[in-house]
Structure formats: structure tokens, C-alpha cells
Amino acid sequence: HYSFFPGSPVWPVGRRDLTYAFQPENELTNEVKTVFARAFLRWSQVTPLTFTEIQTFSAADLKIGFFVGDHGDGEPFDGVLGTLAHAFSPTAGRFHLDGDENWVVGGDISTSSVASAVDLESVAVHEIGHLLGLGHSSVEDSIMFPTIASRTRKVELANDDVLGIQRLY
Ligand code: TQI
Ligand code: ZN
Ligand code: ZN
């Protein structure tokens, strides 16, 4: 079953057309940015929320960046595997990914020869759930289940994810 953060924080009415931006120093390719756009779309399809990329990082509601090791927020990344990414509850909007992971952006991760490959879209869909106010779920098929099998792609919202987000929004 789905869960919320303590106190069930959400993006308030009046802040439901959300903007996002990428840390400019990361210089991400359009292919990578498209993965995030697809991940946002999955949540916008089942909520009244919209997500629009803007170029002014400081002005964005949701701030996305790849970082390595200690990056100044008290939750350092740890190299390959372990922590892959973290995102904070509403309305913090910070979404950080571990730049040391072997991120898979396109192609079939199940046939990747890299044992530590991690599917970027799967992690993005999960972390956006956190950004919007979902905690972890006990339903194994759900996006918000706290573990994912290695070299697995899981990007489709389960019923449990939809029920949870529609209770919040
Ligand atoms: N990062 C953890 C996560 O996002 C960080 C975390 C632990 C957390 N407890 C939390 C974030 C409570 C918010 C609230 O769950 S992770 C997965 C999964 C991670 C793990 O790097 O371990 C995914 C990130 F589910 F696959 F294990 C993304 Cl999809
Ligand atoms: Zn961080
Ligand atoms: Zn999580």
C-alpha cells in the first residue's frame, strides 16, 4: 500500500503547474532530458499537475542535477550502486542523481553487459513520486516500492501509485 511523508505535504492548490530545470553545469543531452520529460508525463496523466521545463534553474520549482560524492546537502552519494538518487518531499523540489552510476538512457537494460547498469527513467519516475509527496509502498509491483531488481526497467505506474497520488491531488 502507498504512503505519504509525515504530515502529508503536497504542492498546494495554486502551485500545480510546476516548472523544472536541469543544473546547467551538467550539460545534459536532449536524449537525457527527454527521459525526464517522459517520466513527468506519466504522473501528469493521472493528476491535475503539469510539468514544464524552463531554462532558469533558480526559478524552477523542481531542480534536477547529477552530483558525485559529497555535494553539500548532508546526503553524500556513494559511488556505483548503493544510493542511486534522492528527492525531497514537497515543496523542497530538489532531485539529485548519483553521477557515478552507469545510467542507461536508451536501449534494453536487461541485456546490458554492465552489471551495475541502472535505468534512468525507472529511477526518475520513482523520485518524482517523492517530489510530489509519495513515500514508499509495500506493493512490490508499484513504482514506489523501495527496491528494484538489478538491470530492471519499471516505468509504468501501478494501481497503487495512481491511488496514492490521486488521494494527494
Ligand atoms: N534512494 C532512496 C529512494 O529514493 C532514498 C530514500 C530512502 C528516500 N528513503 C527514502 C527518499 C524515503 C524519500 C523518502 O528510495 S535510492 C530506488 C528503488 C533509490 C531506490 O537510490 O535507494 C529507486 C532510488 F526503488 F529502485 F530501489 C530510486 Cl527506483
Ligand atoms: Zn543531494
Ligand atoms: Zn524511494
pLDDT at residue number 150: 84
Annotated catalytic residue, options 121, 127, 140, 156: 127
Give, for ligand 1, the residue of 3, 86, 97, 148 to mutate: max count of ligand atoms closer than 8 Å to Cβ. Answer: 86
Report d(CA 92, CA 11) in Å as an integer. 10
pLDDT band at 126 (very low <50, low <70, confident <90, very high): very high
| pLDDT tens per residue, range 97-106 | 999 999 999 8
Global pTM?
0.97
Q: Is the ipTM of this complex over 0.90?
A: yes
Angle at CA of residue 46, ends 1 and 163, nearest 5°? 20
Q: What is the mean pLDDT of the chain?
A: 97
CB-based contact 70:76 (threshold 8 Å):
yes
pLDDT at residue number 75: 97
